[in-house]
Chain A
Amino acid sequence: GAVVSQHPSRVICKSGTSVKIECRSLDFQATTMFWYRQFPKKSLMLMATSNEGSKATYEQGVEKDKFLINHASLTLSTLTVTSAHPEDSSFYICSAVPTTSAVTDTQYFGPGTRLTVL
């Protein structure tokens, strides 16, 4: 149980285009999902908190107009990287917290999406 999927697993796009990444909780409902970014040889950095039915909360330094987050259902959150540039190339990972848990309880992580912007 507690499986989180991401789609696509890898994406290559041209500079200036937009890319959408999906995060799904497959066997549980998640009111809250988180989006992280992982740079090579570095740790995961929290980008934003996604709450179903409300606006996402972004961490300091993360551009909300560039990284659009939508959490339209209890099993799906999407991250859209708008007008992508090479510096946006990274590994994006989502996590989901089961609705039955406190928000600070265990997060279940997706497998990540490798974005390469040419």
Chain B
Amino acid sequence: AQSVSQHNHHVILSEAASLELGCNYSYGGTVNLFWYVQYPGQHLQLLLKYFSGDPLVKGIKGFEAEFIKSKFSFNLRKPSVQWSDTAEYFCAVNARGGADGLTFGKGTHLIIQP
């Protein structure tokens, strides 16, 4: 079975600060990795995903994430956050090539102070 661990449950930053949210997963096989964002009152939206290839993936809104296989990690980064980045961020994983739904981490509530 898969599991996903997000280390930071609540993060408060000032605008223009750099952001890194940790995500580690546990699974014995090859996985697909995702970061989703949920803005207040809105749907889950895909920020970025990693299936294979370049382990540094770029997503929407200036976000990027790096897959480090040896550490089973897929940390999310943004060099300079904005007030509009205030949201809940979820890391998720599923097995590559299977028919599984996603296993989510518990989420990180990010608050950006103006």
List residues of chain A with CB under 8 Å of any chain B CB. 4, 32, 34, 36, 42-46, 49, 59, 93, 95, 102-104, 106-107, 109-112
Contacts and interface: CB of A to CB of B under 8 A. Distances in A.
B42 interface: yes
A93 to B, nearest CB: 7
Interface string B45-62: 110010000000000000
B99 A44 contact: no
B99 A32 contact: yes
A103 B97 CA distance: 8
5 contacts: A36-B102, A43-B106, A44-B102, A104-B95, A112-B43
Nearest to B103: A46
| Nearest 5 A/B pairs, CB to CB | A46-B101, A109-B44, A34-B101, A43-B104, A43-B106
A102 B103 CA distance: 17
B34 to A, nearest CB: 8
Given A46-B102, A49-B101, 19 more contacts: A32-B99, A34-B101, A36-B101, A36-B102, A46-B101, A59-B101, A93-B44, A95-B44, A103-B100, A104-B32, A104-B94, A104-B96, A106-B49, A107-B102, A109-B36, A109-B43, A109-B44, A110-B43, A112-B43
A103 B36 CA distance: 17
B13 to A, nearest CB: 20
B25 to A, nearest CB: 13
Nearest to B32: A104
Contact of A106 (B42, B46, B97, B98): B46
Nearest to B105: A43
Contact of A103 (B43, B44, B99, B107): B99
Contact of A44 (B32, B42, B90, B94): B90
Contacts of B46: 106
